[in-house]
Structure 1
Amino acid sequence: MPEPAYVRIAGEYARRIRAGELPPGMQLPSHTEIAQREGVSDIVVRKALELLLSQGLVRSVRRRGIFVADRPNLVRVSPERQMETAERTFQNESDRDIQVERETEQIPATSELAEALGLSVGELIAHVITRATEDGRPISVSDTYHPVDVADVSGADFLEETISDQLPTAPHAEWLRTPPGDLVKTVHQRFLSANDRIIMISDVSYPRDRYDAFVFRMALK
């Protein structure tokens, strides 16, 4: 899925804020200045700043402008997160060394996956395991499943996410180095087409204290 301009702009500011290039209390350029610098419309700039606000990275002062927050929080925001690669997402969250590795294989669909994806039991599906580290510390692991004829989520019209604290699967616990009995933050994702066909399923696990908050943005009109 192509990365929207507002996600790219917000990501660049997020990285600079978290790296300390833009210190707390610093005023950001005006909407017009950012629009001219980035070659985008005021609408794109407004969406980018709204995303930074929802992440807790900036604050708005009426009649004065947008300022870098005093204590930026680490907030996971959807669906914008799905418009970035994992590498870019985590690099925007930290100035530390980010490493992402992926394993892709084709496996026969279990009865549960076959029912969810509208396929026959045993039909081959793609299984992608994505693991991420920050300075060598595991920060994320996910299992993604989709039909072999689906390349990415560009064909999805809707995203559903279910967030919960629960015991991780054995592979996720091993990767995150979770002590036995400890919970992790899990996100179950379903990407659906306009006719409600599920084209991709993903289960993501994070250390429970990775994010200060999870925010899901949706269009009401």
Structure 2
Amino acid sequence: MAEPAYVRIAGEYARRIRGGELPPGTQLPSYAEIAQQNGVSDIVVRKAVELLQSQGLVRSVRRRGVFVADRPNLVRVSPERQMESAEQSFQNESDQPIQVNREVQQLPATVELAEALGIPAGQEIKHVITKASENGRPISISDTHHPLDIADISGAAYLEETIFDQLPPTAHAEWLRTTPGDLVKTVHQRFIAADERVVMISNISYPRDRYDAFVFRMSLE
């Protein structure tokens, strides 16, 4: 899926802010200037700035403009990132090299997975393990499961996320290099079709100090 223009613009500014090129207190160009530089409308720029604000990277001062926040933090925003590949999501957060590896396999659904997906136990499903690192440091690992007749999440109408701290599965602990007994931040996702069929489930683990906050955003249109 092509990256929306506002996500691309926000990602470029996010990298410059986190990389120190735009230090705290720096004023961003006006909406009109950013629009002209990127060949987009003011509406697209406004959405990009709103995304940067939701990530805690900039602050808007009435009648003065938009400024880099005094303490730029790292906030995971959903569901915007569901439109992005893992490479895009993490590269938009960092100016460091991002590496993403995927392992894909088919396996029979366990009783637990079958119940979650609403299919018979033992039916073949696809399992994708995605591992991400930033400049060699592991920052994420996910297990995604979906029926073989589902190619992607384009058929999903709803996304449910549950966020909690927990002891990671062995494979997640090994990848994230956690100390035995340490908790990780876990996001459990369910992608649901309009007919209420669960088309994909995913469990994503992050180091607990990866994000300052988790924000879920949805359209009310």
TM range (shorter): over 0.9
Q: CA deviation at 1:196?
A: 2.1
SS at match of 1:128: strand
Supply the distance in 1 between the matched residues of 2:37 and 2:196 (Cα, whole angstroms): 40
The letter of the residue matching 1:52 is L
Partner Cα distance (1:23, 1:41) in 2: 26
Q: Deviations over 1:83-109 (max 9, x none)?
A: 111112222222222211110000111
Give the unaligned 5+ runs of structure 2: none
Q: Alpha-carbon deviation of 1:151?
A: 1.9
Q: Distance in 2 between matches of 1:33 and 1:205?
A: 39
Matched residue, 1:95: 95
Contact 1:7 1:83 in 2 (8 A): no
| Number of the residue aligned with 1:177 | 177
Q: SS where residue 15 of structure 1 aligns?
A: helix
Q: In the alignment, what sits opposite 2:76? A: 76
Letter matched to residue 24 of structure 2? P
The CA deviation string for residues 120-169 of structure 1, in whole angstroms up to 9 with x for no partner, is: 21111110001111222211110001111222222222211100011111
- Give the corresponding residue for 2:165: 165
Counterpart CA distance in 1 for 2:132 and 2:92 is: 14
1:31 matched to 2:31: yes
Tell me the distance in 2 between the aligned counterparts of 1:94 and 1:35. Answer: 23
2 CA distance for matches of 1:42 and 1:118? 45
Query: Which residue is equivalent to 1:194?
Result: 194
Q: Deviations over 1:38-69 (max 9, x none)?
A: 23232222111111001010010001111111
Measured against aligned partners, the alpha-carbon deviations of 1:6-51 in whole angstroms (never above 9, x if no partner) come to 2222111111211122222221122222223323232222111111
Structure 1 residues 101-140: aligned runs within 5 Å: 101-140=101-140
Matched residue type, 1:37: Q
The 2-side partners of 1:7 and 1:20 are apart by: 20
Instruction: Give the distance between the partners of 1:38 and 1:197, measured in 2 at CA.
Output: 40
Paired-residue identity, % = 77
Root mean square deviation of aligned Cα? 1.4
Please report the TM-score for the alignment, with normalisation by the length of structure 2. Answer: 0.94
Give the equivalent residue in structure 2 for 1:207: 207
TM-score using structure 1 length: 0.94
- Contact 1:192 1:199 (C-alpha < 8 Å) held by counterparts: yes
SS at match of 1:154: coil
